[in-house]
């Protein structure tokens, strides 16, 4: 029997006792530029490999493959409430559920995967938060939706998983202007780079938004997707290396 490589699953103590994980690219069936655990159905990877990878994630989460819920991510502030396995994916960038046995799975490749939980209320959430989603309010929208499902805001914990760090996130002046137009205190999340370039702290921006929303705790696992090609896929790194496509990491949580 061929050797099956093991999955690498990063966890956060603050989300215990709920089963959850920020999966790295280790342990998957994909090859080539997708080598590892590519879970992106929208990638040009072999659909059979992606399906096998997603089945391994579902198994690790203790659910059937159809109970690993997802959304058609569009960089929006929209949140879907998932009530049963097998719901067709809707266009949104976050999910909330209070249904036991459902796992919420978010795909990323530099953007932030954010897992949320109020374990006492039995309400969880997951968000895909790139700069557009974070600026547009997707994180606050998850908190509001969880509250509507019975969670207590001050008891909600949010953990940001592997994402692009400030030192790897170079942006131009027009990007800076977009943030300043929305929040005149946003300049604290930018550092000077080469020439007119700036380095944007997406994680710092998002942690500040989460804390301002009044939740119980918010943290980052500390992993940079761009800087660790062995463990993480990165859209920006794939562009810099002129690769034709890139894999997608999955992060999941279940009740």
**d(C-alpha 128, C-alpha 136), whole Å:** 12
Query: Strand pairing of 217-220 and 249-254?
Result: unpaired
- State the pLDDT at residue 41: 87
CATH topology of domain 9-254: 3.60.140
Q: Taking residues 66-78, what's their average pLDDT?
A: 96
Q: Taking residues 190-215, what's their average pLDDT?
A: 95
Which pTM value belongs to this model? 0.96
Q: Taking residues 204-208, what's their average pLDDT?
A: 97
32 has pLDDT over 50: yes
2 has pLDDT over 80: no
**d(C-alpha 95, C-alpha 105), whole Å:** 9
Q: Where do the H-state alpha helices sit in the chain?
A: 47-61, 131-136, 138-148, 173-182, 202-212, 235-240
Please spell the DSSP secondary structure of 175-212, one letter per residue.
HHHHHHHH-TTGGGGEEE-STT-EEE-HHHHHHHHHHH
Q: Taking residues 64-80, what's their average pLDDT?
A: 96
1 has pLDDT over 50: no
How far CA 58 is from CA of 28, 66, 252, in Å, comes to 13, 8, 9
209 has pLDDT over 70: yes
> Is 112 in contact with 160 (CB distance < 8 Å)?
yes
pLDDT band at 184 (very low <50, low <70, confident <90, very high): confident
12 has pLDDT over 70: yes
- Nearest 5°: the CA angle 63, 102, 62 is 20
Q: Taking residues 211-220, what's their average pLDDT?
A: 97
> Is 159 in contact with 174 (CB distance < 8 Å)?
no
- State the pLDDT at residue 3: 58
Q: Taking residues 217-244, what's their average pLDDT?
A: 96
**d(C-alpha 151, C-alpha 143), whole Å:** 9
- State the pLDDT at residue 45: 87
**Average pLDDT score, the chain:** 95
> Is 200 in contact with 166 (CB distance < 8 Å)?
yes
pLDDT band at 88 (very low <50, low <70, confident <90, very high): confident
Q: Taking residues 121-144, what's their average pLDDT?
A: 97
Q: Taking residues 45-71, what's their average pLDDT?
A: 95
């Amino acid at each position: 029997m061929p050797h099956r490589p093991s999955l690498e699953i990063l966890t956060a103590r603050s989300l215990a006792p709920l089963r959850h994980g920020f999966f790295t690219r280790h342990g998957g069936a994909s090859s080539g530029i997708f080598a590892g655990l590519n879970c992106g159905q929208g990638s040009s990877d072999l659909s059979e490999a992606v399906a096998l990878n997603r089945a391994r994630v579902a198994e690790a989460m203790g659910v059937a493959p159809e109970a690993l819920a997802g959304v058609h991510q569009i960089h929006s502030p929209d949140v879907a409430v998932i009530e049963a396995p097998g719901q067709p994916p809707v266009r949104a960038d976050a999910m909330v559920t209070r249904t036991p046995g459902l796992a919420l799975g978010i795909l990323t490749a530099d953007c932030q995967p954010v897992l949320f939980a109020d374990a006492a209320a039995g309400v969880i959430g997951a968000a895909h938060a790139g700069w557009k989603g974070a600026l547009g309010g997707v994180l606050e929208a998850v908190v509001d939706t969880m509250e509507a499902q019975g969670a207590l805001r001050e008891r909600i914990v949010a953990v940001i998983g592997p994402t692009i760090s400030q030192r790897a996130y170079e942006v131009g002046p027009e990007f800076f202007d977009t943030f300043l137009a929305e929040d005149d205190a946003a300049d604290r999340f930018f550092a000077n780079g080469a020439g007119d370039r700036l380095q944007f702290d997406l994680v710092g921006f998002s942690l500040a938004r989460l804390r301002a929303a009044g939740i119980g705790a918010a943290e980052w696992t500390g992993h940079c997707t761009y800087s660790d090609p062995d463990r993480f896929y990165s859209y920006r790194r794939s562009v810099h290396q002129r690769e034709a496509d890139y894999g997608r990491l999955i992060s999941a949580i279940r009740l």
